[in-house]
Every structure is written in C-alpha cells, then in structure tokens.
Amino acid sequence: MSELREESNSRTGVELFAGAGGLAMAVHSAGFRPLLFNEFAKRACQTLQANGAKPRGESEAIPEPGEPWPLVEGDVQSLDMSYLHGKVDVLAGGPPCQPFSLGGVAKGDEDKRNMFPEMFRAMREIQPKAVICENVKGLTRPSFKPYLDYILREMEMPFELRNPETSWQEHDTYLREARERPVSDPSRRYQVVMTKVNAADYGVPQIRQRIIIVAFRADLGIDIEQFQNDVAPTHHEDALANSMIDGSYWERHPSVPRHVRDRVMAGLPEEKLEVDPKFLPWRTFRDAIAGIDENEGKPLPAVPWDRLDRQEYRAGGFTDHIGWPDARIYKGHTPNALDRPAKTVKAGVHGVPGGESVMLTDDRYRDPESPTGWTYRHRYMTVRETARVMTFPDAWKLEGPRGEKMRQLGNAVPVKLGAVFANAVAAALDKAEGRS
C-alpha cells in the first residue's frame, strides 16, 4: 500500500500521533477507512502528505470512501473531535513515549509531553468501538507501574471526568471506587487488554519491546479470550536457531560466505532445540534486506565501500539506500548482526544514536590484533534498510533529511506488529456485530 486511500473499507478509523504512518498503514490495511488523523511534527506531516494525505483545513467534513485522509497538523490539545462522535470504529495512536522511555528524560506523568490525557479526551468525544494504543515497555517499570495502572483504569472509565485541580493519584482513588458501582450505560465503559510484546515474536525482523493496550466498548460484548488468542506470538527465537541447524535458513541465503555461516553456527547447539512446531522462526536483518512480505523478492543491493559519501544514488532503483560515513563501534553501542533480528530502532533524544544504527557486514579484512586474525567491516544502516526492519513497504515515502527520516522510523510502530492487533480488533468487532 503506497497511499492512504481505499475504496472498499466499510469500517472507520481515526489516528492521533500518527507519526510516519506505521500504525496508520496497519489499521488501514485491516479494513478501517480513515476519517481523520493528527500529527504535530512537521517532517512526519510531510511524509504523510507524500503518501496521499491531504490537509483538512478548517472543514470538519467526513471524507467519502476513496478520498485522501484528512490531516490536521498541530497540537492535539487544540483538536476538536466531537464531530466524529458515534462514527468511528477504531481510535488508534501511540502517545509520545519519551516521558516513559529509557532513552528519554523519564519524567513520566509529570512530563508535559505526556499525551495520554488527550487519548482519554478523544475516547470521550468520539466514543469509538475500539482503541489501539502503543507505547514503550518503560511504562511497566516499577517507578511507572502505578501510573500505568491508572492509565488502564482511565481507558476503562474515560467518562469519569477528572477535576483539573485533582492529582492523578486522587483521581485514581475515585476510579477504583467508581469501578465498584453499577453502570447504567455500558457504552461509556471499556474492556481493556494490555499485551507486552516483542516485535520479533510477530515476524518483525527487530527486537522491539513494547506494550499495546486495546480497549473495546463494553456494550459490544467482545470475546476477550478469543482476541487474546488472536494476538498471541507467532514466531520464536529457538525456531530461528533450529532453521539454522537444519540448514533451511542458509538455503534461503545461499550467497552467505562460509566464514560467516561458520561463525554463526559456532554459537548454536549441535542438536535442535525443543520448540512448539506452531512457531515460525524469528526473522533476521538479513531476511529484511533480502525482502519479506510486500518487499518479497526485492533484495537490497550491497552499498559499495566507496559510496559511503552521503550522495543520492538509486542502487537497484531503491530510494533512501544511501551510504553514510564515519560509523563507529564503541562500548554500549554494539552493531547489528545480519543473522539476528535488528536491535531496536531508536529515534534518539538528539537524533540518531551512533552505534545503534551500525551493522556488521559479511566483508572482512586481515587484522593481526584480532584474536581470530580477522575483523569484519561495519557501516551505518541506510534509511531503506532501517525502514525494512520496521516492516515499511519500499513504496512508502519518507520526507526530510536522513536524521529526520531515521527519527520518524524510530518513533513508528512496525507495520507488521500493528497489523496483528488491527486485524484482531477487526475480527473481534465483526464477530460481535455478526459480520463474520
């Protein structure tokens, strides 16, 4: 999907904090026709427009099927969404994670960038059938866990208004009491499910620990157990090891040099590991470069060592596959290995972290100071390689200079991970409403 357009989607969606469009693509592909989305960052808005979105302006008209997504650029706190009340199946978004991220300043609920209150307001104004909310695993840390519990209760009872002069702790106490009282209108309550995920367990070629919170309007009678089954992991690390041991992984990558294969195999057991046969192997960085899903059969060409020059060139016709100089490996910033899922793609507080976007290649040179006598060459990942480990299709355009593109990718939801949850939400709504 290269543009935010769809003629046949019968369900509807709204996305806040849309970013580069990872979750937007996932929700859209699950059958939700977009009615509105909002993003604050200028470069991310340019990316969304490059892929078919159109500034909404002052109009609050609801788009017809086939029309571009209406984009409102700016602060969500000034966005009125009440005109969409009762017209939205799913509200999706990933409120800025810096307040809770290890990479951020970790001020949590005191940080002005905490936008969870805007998600609660959107739930009240729109009253959607379902909500999908992604955020960092840092919210589960002991110091933030009480606030995470409060977030879950707020999503369960968004219509229990908080006094602006009241602390979240005081409101949390009120919510605990309100939860025990009978409910006259179940459409004003939600069933909330939080799932801890590693994106690699869902076929994303990247280690990415996150939480995904899904809420269903309580009057719909959603089968929560079936939903949880639908979002269970599908891939496993041990299945990847087994595919290497039995040779099926190497058959997919016949051009891997023998010395690379031997190095990888040296770190594996001789016999296969016990793993449930329902699990597929984790996907690796090498798999992503070779092409998976929408990019199947479209391998990215190697970046020549004499082209680490920041200069645009269309190697194999791919955009954003541009070499970058001066990659370094240093303590705390180990490089990505090709035959493992990539490390977490990070936005970085001040741009792209140096070592985090570095990769080891298959090329090596003689090095008498190395214990093995060899040293493998390394370079920065290209933007296109990074987009692939985020499972963005190659047709999706990214706008801005390299650092901004990498920032957008680091802030995004991997498309394939988002699709698992968006498809499960669609299936749950279909079943509850007799569509399935």
Q: How many CB atoms lie within 10 A of CB 282?
A: 25
- The structure tokens listed for 158 are 């968004």
Q: Are 399 and 51 in contact (CB under 8 A)?
A: no
Same domain, 227 and 359: no
Mean pLDDT (whole number) for 152-167: 93
Average pLDDT over residues 299-319: 89
Nearest to 172 by CA among 153, 192, 186: 153
pLDDT of residue 344: 95
Question: 395 is in which domain, residue-wise?
Answer: 237-409
Domain presence at residue 4: no
**pLDDT tens track for 103-117:** 444 444 555 667 899
Residue 90 and residue 129 in one domain: yes
101 and 217 inside one domain: yes
The pLDDT score that the predictor gives to residue 1 is 43
- What's residue 3's pLDDT? 54
pLDDT-based confidence at 362, cuts 50/70/90?
Answer: very high
| Count of domains forming the chain | 2
77 inside domain: yes
Is 20 domain-assigned?
A: yes
| Amino acid sitting at position 425 | V
The answer to whether residue 274 sits within a structural domain is: yes
Q: 281 with 242: CB under 8 angstroms? A: yes
Q: Give yes or no: residues 278 and 351 share one domain.
A: yes
Shared-domain flag, residues 190 and 339: no
Q: Are residues 374 and 263 in the same domain?
A: yes
d(CA 172, CA 273): 46
Is 187 inside a domain boundary? yes
Residues 178 and 300 grouped into a single domain: no
Let me know if residue 375 belongs to a domain.
Answer: yes
> Are 272 and 312 in the same domain?
yes
pLDDT tens profile 387-407: 999 999 999 999 999 999 999
Whole-number Å distance between alpha carbons of 237 and 1: 29
Domain co-membership, 358 together with 416: no
Read off the tokens for 395. 């047709």
Q: What residue type is assigned to position 88 of the chain?
A: V
- Average pLDDT, stretch 1-15? 67
Domain co-membership, 390 together with 417: no
Q: How far apart are the first and last CA of the chain?
A: 25
Is residue 386 situated within a structural domain? yes
The verdict on 268 and 394 lying in the same domain is yes
Average of pLDDT values for 7-23?
A: 87
- List the single range of 55-69, 80-94, 258-272 with lowest mean pLDDT: 55-69
Q: What is the CATH number of the domain that holds 89?
A: 3.40.50.150
Average pLDDT over residues 299-314: 90
Is residue 97 part of the annotated active site? The answer reads: yes
Q: Cα-Cα-Cα-Cα dihedral of 59, 35, 295, 424, to 10°?
A: 160
Catalytic option among 45, 97, 133, 412 = 97
**39 three-state secondary structure:** strand
- R_g (Cα) of the chain, nearest Å: 23
**Pair (162, 179) in one structural domain:** yes
Q: What is the mean pLDDT of residues 236-240?
A: 98
Tens digits of residue pLDDT in 327-356:
988 877 889 999 999 999 988 644 444 446
